[in-house]
Amino acid sequence: MVFDIGSGAFANLRQFVDYHRLDAVVITHMHADHFLDIIPLRYALKYGSLRRHGKLELYLPPGGEAMLRTLVSAFAPESENDFLDEVFDIKVFTEKDSVEVKDLRLTFSKTLHYIEAYAIRATAAGGTSVTYSADTAPSDDVVKLARGSNLFLCEATLGPYETEGGMRGHCSAREAALMAREADVESLVLTHYGSGIPPDSLSEEARRHFSGDCGVADDFLQLVVG
């Protein structure tokens, strides 16, 4: 299962997973850096040498389907072909839904972001759980969703110390760590940070506020959870 698939993510995914074996893709919100690689994934599913049986489930937030269809209509009018529908089984989720995909149960919570966005908690049949914050400012609802998770994958867009004025939509490493501490998660991994931010500065600041395992995401990082 893939949570968000922004620019470059599909190429990285192919280093580890045969894309035709995916069970689902879930998009947390409709900012381009979180969904644009749906397009190359679609072309791979349609024309690639690795073919799958049946359509790939694609879960979108409210309003996401209309936006995605508007985007692809610029180069593939759906009156002429089923550009999305011939490879994807598109579904829309809300924060009230509980989605079952094989042995994973997905639950959702709205985040504090500039547009409607959702954090995801994935719980395996045995109880192991991963919560992904998506894009969010510090949020009590995200803390509630993440409570007791084995792994909290939380954004740290603002770096270790930066603050955000006006309308909030992102976290610093300190704020992510404080949410992890309040949620009493086992492990925290920081993600969604700029290329100019030294990863060590993120983890050092987070460890000042969170005593559990703490790390920083990077391309090709693999974790065993639970």
Question: Above 60 in pLDDT, residue 205?
Answer: yes
**Per-residue pLDDT band at 21 (split at 50, 70, 90):** very high
Long-range CB contacts (within 8 A, 24+) of 156-159? 156/190, 156/191, 156/192, 156/193, 156/202, 156/206, 157/192, 157/193, 157/194, 159/193, 159/194, 159/197, 159/201, 159/202
Residues 88 and 112 placed together within one structural domain of the fold = no
**End-of-domain residue from the set 68, 92, 116:** 92
CATH of the domain at 179: 3.60.15.10
Residues 113 and 214 occupy one common structural domain: yes
Q: How many CA atoms lie within 13 A of 18 on its CB side?
A: 7
My answer on whether 193 and 144 are in the same domain is yes
Please report, for residues 159, 173, 221, 226, the alpha-carbon distance to residue 192 in angstroms, rounded to integers and kept in the order given: 9, 11, 14, 23
* Mean pLDDT for the stretch of residues 12-34: 95
pTM for this prediction:
0.95
Instruction: Decide which of 73, 92, 111 is a domain's last residue.
Output: 92
Rounded Cα gap, residues 51 and 89, in angstroms: 16
- Contact status, residue 72 vs residue 44, Cβ threshold 8 Å: no
> Could you list the residue range(s) of the whole structural domain that residue 171 is in?
95-226
For 90-132, the pLDDT digits (tens) are: 999 999 999 999 999 999 999 999 999 999 999 999 999 999 9
48-80 pLDDT, tens digit each: 887 788 999 999 999 999 999 999 999 887 655
- 101 and 70 assigned to the same domain: no
Question: Is residue 142 classed as helix, strand or coil in its secondary structure?
Answer: helix
Q: How many domains does the chain have?
A: 2
